[in-house]
Amino acid sequence: MAKLYFYYASMNAGKSTTLLQADFNYRERGMATMLWTAALDSRTSHAGIESRIGLGAEAHRFDAATDLWARVSAANAVEPLACVMVDEAQFLSPAQVWQLARIADEAGIPVLCYGLRTDFQGELFPGSAVLLGIADSLVELKAVCHCGRKATMNLRIDADGAAVKAGAQTEIGGNDRYVALCRRHFSEALAGAAAP
């Protein structure tokens, strides 16, 4: 029975690297996969998924209007898919998460989603909230805070490295805009940040 998986973590935990390793494992055995990533993430040098350690692969891009059920079903009709993998899954809409569940349930294709659980204010992303609620398997990947504790939070920082308390939920960036911290250091950084 195919399942819907959600691999979640803070920044710098190796989510994209883990996805790319899983994709390699399927393809090495001659199995077809379909990779997806958020269209709004324009940091990559090509239309695909790139990890911070330099691995990369081509991927389809989804936005709010993408019907994942229709697109995956059409691809599966041409070449049977062994797995569907989604990077930046926090940017999925709730409806798209349900489409991915349908792919697992009705098409019998495992779906592996990788993404952030919470934003820079500690709030759940809508896509992550639904994944946490309906995924068959939840797997937490680990990142490390500067203190050595498990990093579970994503602190947004400005150009000077100061904590940012307010703003849009989605602002694309890497190590220049976000720092993975344990809850204690995240809370301390926000408490010391200037009011917006």
Q: Tokens at residue 123, please?
A: 């709030």
Best CA proximity match to 170, nearest among 61, 91, 57, 70: 91
Mind listing the pLDDT tens digit for each residue in 135-170? 999 999 999 999 999 999 988 888 887 778 767 676
Tens of pLDDT, residue by residue over 65-80, are 999 999 999 999 999 9
Tokens for 165, please give them. Answer: 């308390």
Share of the chain above pLDDT 90, in %: 65
Catalytic residue numbers, as ranges: 88
How many structural domains comprise the chain?
1
- Give a yes or no: residue 117 inside a domain: yes
119 within a domain of the structure (yes/no):
yes
172 part of a folded domain = no
Query: Is residue 64 very low, low, confident or very high in pLDDT (cuts 50, 70, 90)?
Result: very high
Alpha-carbon distance of 75 to 17, in angstroms, equals 24
CATH code, domain with 126: 3.40.50.300
Write out the residue range of the structural domain in which residue 38 sits: 4-142
- The average pLDDT across 123-134 equals 96
Nearest to 122 by CA among 81, 85, 91, 152: 152
Residue 11 lies in a domain: yes
Give a yes or no: residue 169 inside a domain: no
Q: What is the model's pLDDT at position 130?
A: 98
Specify if 84 maps to a domain: yes
| Residue 196 placed within a domain | no
**Which pTM was predicted?**
0.88
